[in-house]
C-alpha cells in the first residue's frame, strides 16, 4: 500500500511536473548568483539573534500546532483522542507539501489519513480542499488591510466587510445547496451531496474551523513578515504583502521543487508593482524560503518522535 501511494507521486505521469520543478530550481540558483551572489545573500543571518530566532520558531511552531488543531476539530469523529498523531500527520504533510513540486505534496494528506485513520480518500480530499479555500479566504483579509495601508485607496477598506461576509454566506449556501441536490438521484448530484456532507454543517464547528485558520495564519504571518523585514529593510505593510504573495504560491498549482522559483516569483509579482527593486525582493524571498524549508525539516523531525496512531479499519 505504501509503495503504491508513493508511485502516485513518483511516476511517469508526474514526470512533467518534476522536470518543470527542476527547471524552476536551477533558474533560481542561477538568478540569485548573478543578481546578488549566494554569500552576500546569506550574510544577514549573522545579525539574527538567538532570542529573535527563538521567538520566530515559537510562532512558526504555534502555526503548525494550530493547523493540526484545525484538522482535529474538522474530523473529530475520526481523530478524536489522537491529537498527537494528528500533529504528526500534519507535520509530515507540511514537509512533503513544501518540498514536492506542483502540489504533489497535497496527495500526502489523503494518503496519510487513509494509512493512519482508514479514512476514505473522498472525505479527506474534501477536508483538504475546504481548508485550502479557507486559507485563501483568510489571506485575502490581511491583503485588503495592507493594500489600504500601503496605497490609501478607500475601495480596499470598503471590501473588507464584504470579504468577511463570505464566511456566513458560505455556511448558509452549503445548507441550501445540500438540500437542493438531495432532491435528485443522478450520479453527479449524489457525488456533490457526498462532498457537501464532508463540509461542517454545524454553525459552531464551521466558524471554529475558520477561526483556527485565522489563528494559524496570524502566527505564521507574524514570523514570516519579521523575516522579510529583517532581510529587506521593508516596512511592515510591504513585508506583509510580500509574505502573502509568497505564501499564496504554496496553495496554488504552480510550485517548483521545494517551491524554488515559484515562491520568489509570487513575492515579486506583489512587490515589483509597489516599486521594490528585484535585488531587495530576492534577498527577502530566498532567505524567507530557506527559513520555511528549514523549519519544515525541523518540525517534521519532531513529528517522528510523536506517537504513531493505531488504525481503526472499521472507519470509512
Angle at 238 between CA 158 and CA 160, to 5 degrees: 15
**Predicted local distance difference test score (pLDDT) of residue 64:** 98
Q: Model confidence over 183-242: pLDDT tens digits?
A: 888 889 989 999 999 999 999 999 999 999 999 999 999 999 999 999 999 999 999 999
How high is the pLDDT of residue 253? 67
Give 165's contacts (C-beta < 8 A, 6+ positions apart). none
- How far apart CA 23 and CA 1 sit, in angstroms, is 31
Q: What whole-number distance in Å separates Cα of residue 19 and Cα of residue 11?
A: 12
Residue 309: strand, helix, or coil: coil
Q: Give the angle 167-169-174 at the CA atoms, nearest 5°.
A: 100
Residue 16 to residues 100, 220, 312, Cα–Cα distance (Å): 13, 31, 37
- Report in angstroms the alpha-carbon separations of 161 from 153, 205, 241: 15, 22, 19
Q: Cα(152)–Cα(143) distance, rounded to whole angstroms?
A: 13
Q: Give the model confidence (pLDDT) of 8-61 as tens digits.
A: 544 545 566 567 667 777 777 777 777 777 788 888 899 999 999 999 999 999
DSSP type of residue 183: T
| Torsion on CA atoms 258, 222, 227, 251, rounded to nearest 10 | 20
Instruction: Grade residue 244 by pLDDT with cuts at 50, 70 and 90.
Output: very high
State pLDDT tens for residues 167-177: 999 999 999 99
Q: What's the pTM value of the predicted model, to 2 decimals?
A: 0.87
DSSP 262-306: HHHHHHHHHHGGGT--HHHHHHHHHHHHHHHHHHHHHHHHHHHTS
- Quote the CA–CA distance of 178 and 194 in Å, as a whole number: 9
| Residues 98-140: tens digit of each pLDDT | 888 766 778 889 999 998 899 999 999 999 999 999 999 999 9
pLDDT recorded at residue 41: 82
Cα separation, 125 vs 169, in Å, equals 22
Alpha carbon distance 123, 196 (integer Å): 10
Rounded to an integer, what distance in angstroms lies between the CA atom of residue 35 and that of residue 33? 6
Amino acid at each position: 500500500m505504501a509503495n503504491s501511494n508513493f508511485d502516485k507521486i513518483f511516476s511517469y505521469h508526474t514526470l512533467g511536473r518534476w522536470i518543470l520543478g527542476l527547471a524552476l530550481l536551477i533558474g533560481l540558483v542561477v538568478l540569485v548568483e548573478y543578481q546578488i551572489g549566494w554569500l552576500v545573500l546569506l550574510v544577514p543571518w549573522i545579525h539574527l539573534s538567538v532570542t529573535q530566532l527563538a521567538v520566530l520558531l515559537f510562532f512558526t511552531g504555534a502555526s503548525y500546532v494550530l493547523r493540526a488543531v484545525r484538522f482535529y476539530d474538522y474530523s473529530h469523529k475520526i481523530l478524536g483522542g489522537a491529537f498527537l498523531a494528528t500533529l504528526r500527520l500534519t507535520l509530515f504533510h507540511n514537509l512533503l507539501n513544501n518540498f514536492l513540486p506542483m502540489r504533489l505534496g497535497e496527495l500526502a494528506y489523503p494518503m496519510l489519513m487513509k494509512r493512519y485513520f482508514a479514512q476514505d480518500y473522498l472525505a479527506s480530499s474534501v477536508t483538504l480542499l475546504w481548508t485550502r479555500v479557507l486559507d485563501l479566504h483568510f489571506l485575502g483579509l490581511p491583503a485588503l488591510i495592507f493594500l489600504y495601508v500601503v496605497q490609501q485607496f478607500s475601495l480596499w477598506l470598503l471590501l473588507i466587510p464584504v470579504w468577511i461576509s463570505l464566511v456566513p454566506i458560505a455556511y448558509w449556501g452549503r445548507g441550501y445547496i445540500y438540500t437542493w441536490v438531495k432532491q435528485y438521484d443522478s450520479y453527479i448530484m449524489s457525488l456533490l451531496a457526498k462532498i457537501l456532507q464532508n463540509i461542517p454543517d454545524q454553525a459552531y464547528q464551521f466558524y471554529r474551523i475558520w477561526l483556527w485558520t485565522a489563528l494559524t495564519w496570524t502566527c505564521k504571518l507574524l514570523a514570516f513578515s519579521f523575516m522579510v523585514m529583517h532581510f529587506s529593510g521593508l516596512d511592515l505593510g510591504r513585508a506583509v504583502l510580500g509574505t502573502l504573495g509568497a505564501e499564496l504560491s504554496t496553495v496554488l498549482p504552480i510550485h517548483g521543487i521545494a517551491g524554488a522559483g515559484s515562491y520568489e516569483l509570487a513575492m515579486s509579482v506583489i512587490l515589483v508593482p509597489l516599486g521594490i527593486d528585484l535585488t531587495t525582493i530576492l534577498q527577502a524571498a530566498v532567505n524567507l524560503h530557506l527559513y520555511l524549508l528549514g523549519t519544515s525539516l525541523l518540525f517534521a523531525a519532531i513529528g517522528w518522535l510523536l506517537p504513531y496512531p493505531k488504525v481503526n479499519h472499521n472507519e470509512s
